[in-house]
Amino acid sequence: KNQVEQSPQSLIILEGKNCTLQCNYTVSPFSNLRWYKQDTGRGPVSLTIMTFSENTKSNGRYTATLDADTKQSSLHITASQLSDSASYICVVTGGAGGGADGLTFGKGTHLIIQP
Amino acid sequence: DGGITQSPKYLFRKEGQNVTLSCEQNLNHDAMYWYRQDPGQGLRLIYYSQIVNDFQKGDIAEGYSVSREKKESFPLTVTSAQKNPTAFYLCASSIGARSGNTIYFGEGSWLTVV
């Protein structure tokens, strides 16, 4: 069964500090991995998308890494800001043909930035 | 502005009542989706449509129905057969349903049973 596990479930850090969120998956065959940011009560917004051949991808203060051998990804947030408080969702696409029914969503990491 | 518009933002349903959530997109995307999000759970796919007049069941389609009469619109009806409908519903779209296409989400609709 395809699964995406995220850790930690929740995290509280002080403004200005860095943090790293983890995503482990068992989706096979693998197509790509996305990180989304979801503010409370809002729709998720795409941060990055990574394919099998990509190890690192940055989007401003967000840097995602992918290790396809160990089936792990991380999202590193540098110099956190209060606006980074949100849930971060890891989504892995796989299975035959990919597509809408090939997406597996993690439960998300709830990040709180304290002033 | 281009995007996905969901309405209403908040909806209350009485027992035994059908309700319809609206989803409109002006991104010219072929594929549209409906997801359900429960607290502490990952998003679950209800229905998706790759093209007008065609749609497919997702993982939790029971108690829901959809239509895709226009490219821009993909309304979701929560029927009385859905026994636990209280949740946050997200509509999404993408250029196509291929795995490499980014999925864009609307702002969501909260449905509560009263």
Region B28-41: mean pLDDT is 92
Give me the mean pLDDT over the A46-51 stretch.
92
Average pLDDT of chain B?
A: 91
Q: Is A5 helix (H, G, I), strand (E, B) or coil?
A: strand
Are A86 and A93 in contact by the 8 Å Cβ rule? The answer is no
Alpha-carbon distance of A30 to B64, in angstroms, equals 30
Considering chain B, what percentage of its residues have pLDDT values greater than 70?
95
Structure tokens that stand for A98 in this block: 């990919």
* Chain B residues lying within 8 Å of A100, measured CB to CB: 31, 33, 45, 48, 50, 56, 58, 94, 97
Confidence band for A67, pLDDT divided at 50, 70 and 90: very high
Length of chain B counted residue by residue: 114
Q: What is the pLDDT of residue B113?
A: 87
- Chain B window 22-81: which residues touch A at a Cβ cutoff of 8 Å? 31, 33, 40-45, 48, 50, 56, 58-59
Q: Is the dihedral of CA B37, B30, B61, A93 positive or negative?
A: negative
Bridge partners (DSSP) of residue A4 are: A25
* Chain B residues lying within 8 Å of A108, measured CB to CB: 42
Nearest to A53 by CA among A31, A29, A23: A31
Q: Answer with the residue of higher pLDDT: B82 or A12.
A: A12
